[in-house]
Structures are given as structure tokens and as C-alpha cells.
Structure 1
Amino acid sequence: MSTPVLPDLATPEAAATLPEILESVRASGGSAPASMGGAETRLFVDDTDVRTILGDKRFLMNAANVEGGTNALSRAELLHHMGLEPEMIVHATQGILDQDGVDHVRLRKLVTRAFTARRVQAMRPNVQAITDRLLAELPGHAENGSVDLLRHFAYPLPIQVICDLVGVPESERGPWQAWGHSLTSFDLGRPDLLNGALQGMAESSRKLIAAHRAREHGDLLDDLVRISDDDGDRLSENELITMIVTLVVAGHETTANLIGNGTHALLTHPDQLALLKGDPELLPSAVHELLRWCGPIFQTRMRYASEDMELTTGAVRRGEAVIAMVAGANHDPRVHTDPARLDLTRHQGKPGEAHVAFGHGLHYCLGAALARLEGQVAFGSLLSAFPDLALDPARPAVRQPNIAFNRFDDLYVRLG
């Protein structure tokens, strides 16, 4: 098989043709060399290889942890090339998603104690109340018979939920939503947006930390500020800032696009929409299928091989940078029969997750249970409140060119 010649993944060309790129990599055997903003890397779309890259401890998040060094650009170096200022890079590269080994275990252990399944389940009434309020307000946002569901429902719901959980006050939630959107835009022509977003998040986080140290607020940030392990270990100021940034951005941006992408998928597949309307018990399976079929993440962060390895679809050398393409694995025909077909019953009655939309292994998404909960409440309540919901044919949704995040610029619907 010939090796495909791929465009730089950090270019608009790549962002606009990602499905074709993934299929060309699959057709060539499942992996292929690529570049990301000048950084040499290798893409993997095979489900087995993606799971190995995400779950094997020999693949590291931090290039500096590769024994003997690596010629691959680190994440910090890549962000520097993108125009981020050094003091902002700290908050983008020293969080839980950037750590390996004992450092990662330490941060995850401290946070997991505060981010429990019990806490998530206790949030269901609040998630439902926020959802009901937003849906009641939707008709008031309609113009010429249609409303932007992303702007007035898909984004406000998760930002309200995660900010309630973390402890971000009402006055700060609009800015956090805007900062998160800028941070995940990957607009290489606007480093000012990225720097401004990180600066705003860092300054807001410092104020939040100070307020929570002064008095308890009864939220997750209280736990993060005060929690310690058996040895008295606590999160440092920078670790708290990056943790807040990670939780708020990851906790609303991806869920918002799950809701947006999933609603678009349902409204363009009337047979599946009718199936879900006729059987609300199908919601858990439906959310899993929407995560697989049109999930909010195309790819994971770059990882670095700590030693030479042979994967199913290609060899990886020590120090080499690799990217696990989640969207590729979730459409692997050897794992998912007829993967291009949306089938809301695909996961019904099956334990665990057949997809890798939340990652796999040590870095599996801490907020997965919350995202699933929000998805079930959002889709179920939206279709119940507006049974005649339909896309506005006069304002078709346009997918945003983005190599990492799967999302629309807007999503205009008619409420019926």
C-alpha cells in the first residue's frame, strides 16, 4: 500500500478535509506520517492501535519524560510556534492532561476524590432544572421562525452545569464560555485570541481560588483548594489554575458540541429520531452512538513513544510523536459494523463503551459520567418539549474547520 501525502494538520486545508484524510490513512493500512504545525508525527486510525496509544504507559504525554530525549516538538514548543506567550503556555501544558507516571497519578488521585460518581448523580435535578429553564426561554430567542440551538441551548447548558460544579459565579460564565471557544478554535492566525483566553482564565481562576480560601462555598473548588492525600499533599496555585481551566473548558466545550452534533444527526436521520421518540429508554444507548458517530473530538493530544514498539498498523520508534485519531477508531469497520450508519440501538444492553470518545486508559475523561448525564437530559427534554423540532432549511448548519474539535458554527432550528 502506498503512503498517503497528508497536508499539515494545522492548516485550514486539513481541517476542511479531515474525513477524507482519515479514510486515506485507513486505506493505506491504518497509520501514516504527518505533520502538525511543523512537528513531525504519525497518525493512527485503527481501533486497536488507538486504544494502545491511549492506554499503554509507554506512550507519554510529556516529551521531556522520554529517556534520552526526542527530536519531536513538545506540546510547549508547538504552542510557542502557534504564538502563545511563555507565561500562558504554563497554564496550557502543566495540567492533569499533560502529566505522566507518578505526577499524573498524584493529580488524578487528588481530583478524583472530589469528582465522584455520587456527586455527578446528585447533580441530575440541577441539570434538569437548567435544561427546563433554557428550553422554556428558547421561543423568545426565535427570529424569523428559527433559533440558534448552539447559542441558546447547547452551550448555555453545560457552561451553567460545570460552573455550578466548579464554583464559577454567574457573572463570570459568559466570559468563560467565550474563552473556552477561543482556546479550542485553533485559529493559528489569531494568537492574540489564544493568549487573551488563557490570560482571562488565569486571572479569573486566581480570584476564584482566593475567594474559596477565604470562605467555603460548598462546591468542587472548595474540595480542590482544601483536599489533600494521606501525605498532606495539596494542589499548588498553578496546578489549581490549570485544573480549573481544564475542568471548565473540557466540561462545557465538548458537551456543547455533543448536544449540537447529536441534534443535527437526529434531525437528519428521521428514522432514528422516530425510534428515540417512541422509546425514551433508548436514551443511554443513543448518547453512546452519537458519541461514536459524531462525537465532539476528532483526535487526542500528541503522545511520545518511550521505546521502540510494533503496533498493529505500523512501527513506532522511541521519541516519535503519535496522534490517536478518535474519530478514526470510532469508525473502524473491524469493530463497528457498517460504521457510517447511525444506529441508536447499537449499544443497547451492552456493558461498557465500544467507542473511545472519552479516551481510554489512564487519561480516560474524568467528566464522562457528567457528559453522558447531560446528553441524556438534553436530548430527552428537547425532543419532549419540541416534538416537531426541525432544521431551518434557509440556514443550513456549516461545520467549523477544526482538526481537533467536531463542531458547527451555529445550528438554526424551527421549534414547530
Structure 2
Amino acid sequence: MDLADDLITDPYGGYEVLRSTSPVHRIQGPDGQPAWIVTRYEDVRAWLADPRLSLDKKHAREGNYHGLQLPPALDANLLNMDPPDHTRLRRLVGKAFTPGRVEQLRASIRATADRLLDVLGEEGSADLIAAYAAPLPITVICELLGVPGERRGDFRGWTQALIAPDPNEPTAAKEAVVAMLQFFGHLVAHKRQSPEDDLLSDLIAVRDAEDDRLSEDELMSLVFLILFAGFENTVQLIGNAVWALVQHPEQLAALRKDPSKIPAAVEELSRYEGPALLAIRRFPVEDITIGGVTVPAGETVLLSLSSANRDPNRFIDPDRLDIERDAGGHLALGHGIHYCLGAPLARTETEIALRALLERFTHLEADGDAPNWRRSLRARGLKELPVRYRACLSA
């Protein structure tokens, strides 16, 4: 069944059809290769945490969709690993993303948000992705890693080329990979020569002091994953959240009236319009049965986070945005040992971004009705978000 294009064009409508007919479907991936897609909440949540689904490509069978293909220097990351290597690497980098460490960044994140909003002025129109949702997380993650400010603008183009490649630019993805390899190589060499008080310097120190704990490819791949996922997921989370709110002015008004609801609203917004349509592809290490369907060992399994989050058997009236809803248990940021490492940071940035935006602008609306979603089977994000705003109702 060739559903990939339909799921890109109308993911929630497409997944509703799939959920209602069978818990598992055979589809063609974006590269034309087959995969199994799992759509119901109960199955998705269970298999996200089941060790019989491996992230390691050594278990993959040829002739199936394998997802993004990267060179070894970028591919030795947590999204391609099972325990014990996954456990080892996650422990090394996890301390930087604990709720306590993230809380220490709150003042800096708010200051960055305020600076970006200052540029917008008191009244006007802007693309909120380019002006706010993208520069906020890239500034935060680059400061955390120690990436020089003058290079931060490159990442949006690189990640765009990998996640949602333009068919009119067939070499863009390969060029982005080459550029990232060169950049990360120079950055690691610089930090090794002149270490600073940042996460990358700390990771290099671990690599150099205890060589058996972190290989050079693992070091480069960790830097890539932290920048790539830490930036992209949060851009989409902020942008999607603002889009959902301006499309539901009664929900936006409720947040203005009671900003204490913002943290809970971020959970509902994540459920309703999360940054990932699919979890990273997985490969059964043995024949498995999902919802009565047998999936052979080695064939690609795609677990649909967005479909699970709209499953009416888990969430009442799931296609309705309701910031009063208890959205606990949503799968927007995963589940199990591969739960999003940067989830505390993504949540905090989105909460601060929304709070600063609503405090600054008492009027905010979409500038146009048609959202410009990126064409991606895996990531759910806007290319741009044109808005009109003003700082006071009487302006």
C-alpha cells in the first residue's frame, strides 16, 4: 500500500483511516522501500519500550526502508544504538539535560526570547519561524555546546535538507552532510586545542581521558545528534504550538487569562501537534506479532507517535485541542529507554517561548489561512508561520 504521500499531505486524516481498519499496515517509505507502520496507542507505547525492536541497523533486512543514511562519523549516535552502547553514551551526555540543569538555563532562555521579540517591535507582521521559533532553540543549544555564533545560521539549512529534502535540489542532502562533517571536525579540533566551559569540551575530555568509553565517531555523532535533534524538535514544537493556538483563539485567550496553565498546555499542544510523526525506524530481532499481524525479523517498523496521540481509545475527542485536558501519557517525545534525551529542555524552551510571546503581544493572529507544512513523513513542522501582532489592543 503506497500511503506515504497521503500521510505527508494529511497525516491525521490518513492515520485515522489506518487506525480504523488495522493496527498495522504495510506501506512504501519515501524512498520507495517497504515498511510496516503501527498506528494505535496501545501498540505504539508497548513497542516503543520492547527490546525486540532494535535501533541497530545490523538487524535490518535489505530491501526495506532504512531512513536517513549518514556516514559513520555522524551515524554512531543514540538513534542507532541498543544497550549496552546506548546506555553508555546516554549516561555520558544525559547529565546536561536533567530537569535541574535545564532549570539553570531558564533565565538565559528567557533573555534570548526577549531579545528576539524586541527585534519584532510593537506592531507588525513577521514569519515567526524565521524570527523566533528557529533562532531561540539554535541559540540555546549552540551556547550549551559552545558553537560560535557566526555559524549558527547554517544549521537551519542543513537540517532542512536532511529532514525535508527539496526534490528540485537532489544533491542538497549530500552537500549538507559534507558541510556538517567539515564543521564538526573543525569544531572538535578547536575545542580539543582550546577547551571551554561547555558540553562539547566536557565530552572531548571524556573521550581523551577514557578512550574506551567514547570513540571519535561516537563523539562526532553525539555532537550531530544534540544539535540536530535539540534544534529541530524544539523549532517544530514552538512553531506548531503557536500555529495551533492562533487557530483556536478561545484556547489562546484562556492562556492569556491564566498563564499558570502554560506548562500543562505545552503537554496538550505536544500531543495535538507534536514535532514527530514517527519514531525512529526499528528492526525486529525476531519474528514478532503486533495487533495480530506477523512482522518478520529484520523488516522495518515505523511507530506512529502522531497517530497514537490522536487515538480515541486513549484520548477523548482527540482531534480537539483542549488545554484543560490531562495529556499525560502522550507519546510526542517518545517512551522507554529511547525517550527524547532533550525533553526537559524542549519543554522549558517551549513554555518560555509561549509565555514571552503572550506577555509581549496582546494580539496575535495568523497572517493567512493555509499553513505551509514541510513535506516529511517523519517530522511535523512549518516552513514558515506568518503572523500579525500588536502590543496593545488599542494600537
Superposition TM-score tier, normalisation by shorter sequence: over 0.9
Distance 1:115 1:283 in 2: 21
Aligned residue type for 2:71: I
Residues 54-99 of structure 1 show CA distances to partners (whole Å, capped at 9, x for unaligned) of 1111101123136xxx345373xx556xxxxxxx532453211111
Q: Is 2:226 the counterpart of 1:233?
A: no
Q: For structure 2, list consecutive stretches of 5 or more residues without a partner in the other structure.
A: 391-395
In 2 relative to 1, CA 223–368 (structure 1 residues): closer, same or farther, beyond 3 Å?
same
Q: Could you tell me how far apart the structure 1 residues matched to 2:310 and 2:319 are?
A: 7
C-alpha contact (below 8 Å) 1:63/1:72 kept by paired residues? no
Hey, what does 1:84 align to over in structure 2? Answer: none
What percentage of residue pairs aligned between the two structures are identical? 35
Match of 1:409 in 2: 383
Alignment match, 1:49? 43
Taking the aligned partners of 2:10 and 2:245, their CA distance within structure 1 comes to 23
- In 1, the alpha carbon distance for the partners of 2:80 and 2:289 equals 24
Say which of 242, 246, 265 aligns to 2:225: 246
Letter of the structure 2 residue corresponding to residue 389 of structure 1: L
CA–CA separation in structure 1 for the residues paired with 2:209 and 2:39: 41
Match of 1:212 among 191, 215, 219: 191
1: CA distance, partners of 2:219 / 2:64: 26
Q: CA deviation at 1:400?
A: 2.4
Superposed CA offset, 1:250-273 (max 9, x none): 111111111111111111111111
Q: CA deviation at 1:29?
A: 2.1
> Where in structure 2 are the equivalents of 1:20-99 lying within 5 Å?
20-36=13-29, 37-65=31-59, 70-73=61-64, 75=66, 79=68, 88-99=70-81
Tell me, in whole angstroms, the C-alpha distance in 2 between the residues paired with 1:250 and 1:113: 17
Mapped partners of 1:193, 1:91: distance in 2 = 19
Unaligned 5+ residue runs, structure 1?
A: 81-87
Q: CA deviation at 1:188?
A: 5.1
The CA distance in 1 between the partners of 2:274 and 2:8, in whole Å, is 16
* 1:194 and 2:173 matched: yes
Letter in 1 for 2:107: P
2:265 is matched with which residue: 286, 289, 309?
286
Is this contact kept in 2: 1:33–1:42, CA < 8 A? Answer: yes
Q: What is the alpha-carbon distance in structure 2 between the residues aligned to residue 120 and residue 204 of structure 1? A: 26
Output one character per residue of 1:221-278: Cα deviation in whole Å (capped at 9) or x when no partner. 1111112699763322221211111111111111111111111111111111111111
Matched with 1:85 is: none
- Structure 1 residue 186: Cα displacement: 3.7
- Quote the Cα distance in structure 2 between the aligned partners of 1:231 and 1:397: 49
Secondary structure of the 2:178 match is: helix
- Please point out which of 338, 342, 360 is paired with 1:363: 338
**Aligned mates of 1:329, 1:103 — CA distance in 2:** 29
Between the aligned partners of 2:41 and 2:158, the Cα distance in structure 1 is 33
Work out the CA distance in 1 between the residues paired with 2:354 and 2:258: 13
Return the TM-score normalized by structure 2: 0.92
CA 1:354–1:13: 2 relative to 1, 3 Å: closer
* RMSD of Structure 2 on Structure 1 (CA): 2.2
Q: After superposition, where does 1:210-359 map in structure 2 within 5 Å?
A: 210-227=189-206, 233-312=212-291, 314-347=293-326, 353-359=328-334
Q: How many residues align?
A: 389
CA distance in 2, matches of 1:232, 1:92: 18
Contact map agreement 2:95 2:101 (CA 8 A) in 1: no
TM-score normalised to structure 1 length: 0.88
Q: How many angstroms apart in 2 are the aligned matches of 1:23 and 1:413? A: 30
AA aligned opposite 1:266:
L
Determine helix, strand or coil for the equivalent of 1:146.
strand
| Residue of structure 2 equivalent to 1:117 | 99
* Cα-to-partner distance string for 1:306-332 (whole Å, 9 max, x where unaligned): 122222353322222210011000101
Say which of 360, 381, 391 aligns to 2:366: 391
Query: Aligned partner of 2:376: which letter?
Result: N
- How far apart, CA to CA, are the structure 2 residues paired with 1:186 and 1:335? 34
Q: CA deviation at 1:121?
A: 1.2
Supply the distance in 2 between the matched residues of 1:74 and 1:325 (Cα, whole angstroms).
15
What is the aligned partner in structure 1 of residue 393 from structure 2?
Answer: none
What letter is aligned with 2:16? E
